[in-house]
Amino acid sequence: MTVHPTECLLRMYDQHHDLEDYQSGVPRWCTGCGDNGILAAVQRLCRDEDLRPEKTVFVSGIGCSSRFPHYMKTYGFHGIHGRALPVAEGIRMARPDLNVFVNTGDGDCCSIGAAHWIHAIRYNMNMTVMLHDNQIYGLTKMQASPTSPRGLKSNTTPHGAYLEGLQPLTVTLGVQNVSFVAQAVDWIPEVLYDIIAAAYRHKGLSFVRILQRCPEWLPKMLDPWVHDPLKIMLLTHENGLKLSPNISKVYKTQERHDPSNINRAREIASVADPIPVGILYHNPEVPCYEELRDAGQQRSMRFIKAGLEAEFDKFTVWPQDADSKAQPSA
Amino acid sequence: MNDTVAEIPIKPRLHETRNGPAAAKEKPATTLSEHIVEIISDSGEGAQRCGQTFGAIASQMGNGVWTVEIIPAEIRPPARSVAGGSGNRIRLGSGRVTNGGNETDLVIAFNEQVLLGRVRTGELKPDCTILLESMWRESRDESIVTSYVETHDQLVKAGYKVIEIPMEHECKTVVADARRGKNMFALGMLCSIYSFDLQVAREQIALTFGKKGASVIAPNVKLLEAGFEWAENNLDFKYRIPAKRSTEPQIVVNGNTALALGVLASGMEICAMYPITPATSVSHYLSSVFEKVGGVVHQAEDEIAACTFAIGASYAGKCAVTVTSGPGYSLKQEGIGLAVMGEIPLVVINVQRGGPSTGQPTKVEQGDLMASIFGSHGDAPKVVIAPATIEDCFYSVITARKIAETFNMVVVVLSDASLGTSQQPFLRPQFSEAWLAPPIDQSEVPEGAKPYDWNPTTGLARRFIPGQPGGEHTLTGLAHDRLSHVAYDPESNEAGLRARSLKLAALQRTLKTPPVFGDPKGDLLVIGWGSTKGAIEEAVENLRAEGRKVSSLHLTFLQPMAPGLKEIMQRFKKVITIEGNWSDDPNGEIIDESNRRYSALAMLLRSRYLIDVDCWTEVRGQPIKPNTIQRVLLDKLKQR
Chain B touched by A114 (CB under 8 Å): no
Q: How far apart are CA B55 and CA B196, in angstroms?
A: 11
DSSP letter string over A188-238? Answer: -HHHHHHHHHHHHHSSSEEEEEEE--BTTTBTTTTHHHHH-GGGEEEEE-T
**Helix A84-94 to helix A114-123 angle, to the nearest 10 degrees?**
30
Dihedral in degrees, nearest 10, Cα atoms A50, A54, A58, A59: -160
Q: Cis link prior to B451 (omega < 30° from 0)?
A: no
Predicted confidence at residue A3, as pLDDT, reads: 66
Q: What are residue A145's phi and psi, to 5 degrees? A: -110, 170
Predicted confidence at residue B319, as pLDDT, reads: 96
CB atoms within 10 A of CB B265: 25
> Which tens digit of pLDDT belongs to each residue from B232-270?
999 999 999 999 878 899 999 999 999 999 999 999 999
- The answer to whether B268 and B295 are in contact (CB under 8 A) is yes
Tell me what the mean pLDDT of segment A134-139 comes to.
96
Facing B335 at nearest CB: one of A73, A77, A80:
A80
Predicted confidence at residue B23, as pLDDT, reads: 46
Residue from A21, A302, A311, A325 to probe the interface with B (highest B Cβ count within 10 Å): A311
- The answer to whether B315 and A91 are in contact (CB under 8 A) is yes
> Which tens digit of pLDDT belongs to each residue from B79-98?
999 988 999 999 999 999 99
Whether the pLDDT of residue B276 is over 90: the answer is yes
Predicted confidence at residue A258, as pLDDT, reads: 98
Estimate to the nearest angstrom the gap between the alpha carbon of B294 and the chain centroid.
28
Query: Of B203-212, B314-323, B338-347, B578-587, which range is least confident?
Result: B203-212
Nearest-Cα distance to chain B for A84, in Å, is: 8
- The answer to whether B187 and B224 are in contact (CB under 8 A) is yes
Facing A94 at nearest CB: one of B59, B249, B313:
B313
Facing B301 at nearest CB: one of A59, A115, A321:
A115
SS3 B39: strand
Tell me what the mean pLDDT of segment B171-200 comes to.
92
Tell me what the mean pLDDT of segment B508-535 comes to.
98
Grade residue B180 by pLDDT with cuts at 50, 70 and 90. confident
| Strand-pair category, B426-427 with B250-251 | antiparallel
Q: How far apart are CA A143 and CA A154, in angstroms?
A: 5
Grade residue A318 by pLDDT with cuts at 50, 70 and 90. confident
Which amino acid is located at A298 in the chain?
Q
Contact A301 B436 (CB under 8 A): yes
Nearest to A88 by CA among B300, B312, B207: B312
Q: What is the mean pLDDT of chain B?
A: 93
Q: Which chain A positions have a beta carbon within 8 Å of B293's beta carbon?
A: 297, 299, 303-304, 306-308
Tell me what the mean pLDDT of segment B145-173 comes to.
95
Which amino acid is located at B227 in the chain?
G
- The answer to whether B274 and B447 are in contact (CB under 8 A) is no
> Which tens digit of pLDDT belongs to each residue from A41-67?
999 999 999 999 999 999 999 999 999
Q: Cis link prior to B586 (omega < 30° from 0)?
A: no
Tell me what the mean pLDDT of segment B300-309 comes to.
98
Q: What is the rounded radius of gyration, in angstroms, for the C-alpha atoms of chain B?
A: 27
Q: What is the mean pLDDT of chain A?
A: 93
- The answer to whether B114 and B40 are in contact (CB under 8 A) is yes
Q: How far apart are CA B637 and CA B431, in angstroms?
A: 45
Residue from B309, B395, B423 to probe the interface with A (highest A Cβ count within 10 Å): B309
Residue from A117, A315, A325 to probe the interface with B (highest B Cβ count within 10 Å): A315
Structural domains of chain B sorted by starting position, each given as residue range(s) with its CATH number in brackets:
20-240 (3.40.920.10), 255-430 (3.40.50.970), 439-510 (no CATH), 516-638 (3.40.50.920)
Q: How far apart are CA A151 and CA A99, in angstroms?
A: 40
Which amino acid is located at A280 in the chain?
L
Facing B300 at nearest CB: one of A86, A310, A318:
A86
Nearest to B264 by CA among B357, B395, B369, B127: B395
DSSP-assigned letter for residue B29: P
Contact B257 A315 (CB under 8 A): yes
Grade residue A12 by pLDDT with cuts at 50, 70 and 90. low
Predicted confidence at residue A320, as pLDDT, reads: 67
Whether the pLDDT of residue B313 is over 60: the answer is yes
Which amino acid is located at B178 in the chain?
A
Predicted confidence at residue A4, as pLDDT, reads: 76
Whether the pLDDT of residue A280 is over 50: the answer is yes
Q: How far apart are CA B240 and CA B243, in angstroms?
A: 9
Contact A90 B469 (CB under 8 A): no
Contact B338 A90 (CB under 8 A): no
Tell me what the mean pLDDT of segment B155-184 comes to.
92
**Helix B255-266 to helix B390-407 angle, to the nearest 10 degrees?**
30
Q: Is the ipTM of this complex over 0.85?
A: yes
Contact A80 B265 (CB under 8 A): no
**Which residue of chain B has the CA closest to A55?**
B467
Tell me what the mean pLDDT of segment B287-301 comes to.
94
Grade residue A319 by pLDDT with cuts at 50, 70 and 90. confident
Facing B309 at nearest CB: one of A57, A90, A328:
A90
Dihedral (CA of B300, B306, B309, B314) sign: positive
Q: How far apart are CA B501 and CA B480, in angstroms?
A: 15
**Which residue of chain A has the CA closest to B436?**
A301
Nearest to A75 by CA among A56, A100, A49: A56
Predicted confidence at residue A13, as pLDDT, reads: 67
Grade residue B164 by pLDDT with cuts at 50, 70 and 90. very high
Give the list of residues 6+ apart from residue B500 with CB closer than 8 angstroms, or none.
Answer: B340, B341, B343, B379, B381, B459
- The answer to whether A170 and A266 are in contact (CB under 8 A) is yes
Tell me what the mean pLDDT of segment A261-283 comes to.
97
Whether the pLDDT of residue B554 is over 50: the answer is yes
Predicted confidence at residue B179, as pLDDT, reads: 75
Facing B320 at nearest CB: one of A53, A90, A325:
A90
> Which tens digit of pLDDT belongs to each residue from A73-127?
999 999 999 999 999 999 999 999 999 999 999 999 999 999 999 999 999 999 9
Whether the pLDDT of residue B20 is over 50: the answer is no
Grade residue B271 by pLDDT with cuts at 50, 70 and 90. very high
Chain B touched by A136 (CB under 8 Å): no
Whole-number Cα distances in Å, A269 to A74, A147, B524, B550:
33, 14, 73, 74
Grade residue A298 by pLDDT with cuts at 50, 70 and 90. confident
Predicted confidence at residue B2, as pLDDT, reads: 57
What percent of chain B has pLDDT above 70? 96
How many distinct helices (H) and strands (E) make up chain A? 12, 12
Tell me what the mean pLDDT of segment A7-16 comes to.
70
Q: How far apart are CA A304 and CA B85, in angstroms?
A: 40
Q: What are residue B17's phi and psi, to 5 degrees? A: -75, 135
Give the list of residues 6+ apart from residue B31 with CB closer than 8 angstroms, or none.
Answer: B239, B240, B241, B242
Predicted confidence at residue B25, as pLDDT, reads: 54
Predicted confidence at residue A328, as pLDDT, reads: 44
Predicted confidence at residue B526, as pLDDT, reads: 98
Could you tell me which residue, B2 or A266, shows the higher pLDDT? A266
Instruction: Enter the pTM of the model.
Output: 0.94
What percent of chain A has pLDDT above 70? 94
Tell me what the mean pLDDT of segment B170-181 comes to.
86
**Which residue of chain B has the CA closest to A86?**
B309
Predicted confidence at residue B355, as pLDDT, reads: 95
Predicted confidence at residue B176, as pLDDT, reads: 83
What percent of chain B has pLDDT above 90? 87
For residues B115-148, one letter each, b for 16 or more C-beta atoms within 10 angstroms of the residue's C-beta and e for the rest, the string is bbbbbbeebbbebbbbbbbbbbeeeeeeebeebb
For residues A234-260, one letter each, b for 16 or more C-beta atoms within 10 angstroms of the residue's C-beta and e for the rest, the string is bbbbeebbebeeebeeebeebeebebe
| Strand-pair category, B613-617 with B572-579 | parallel
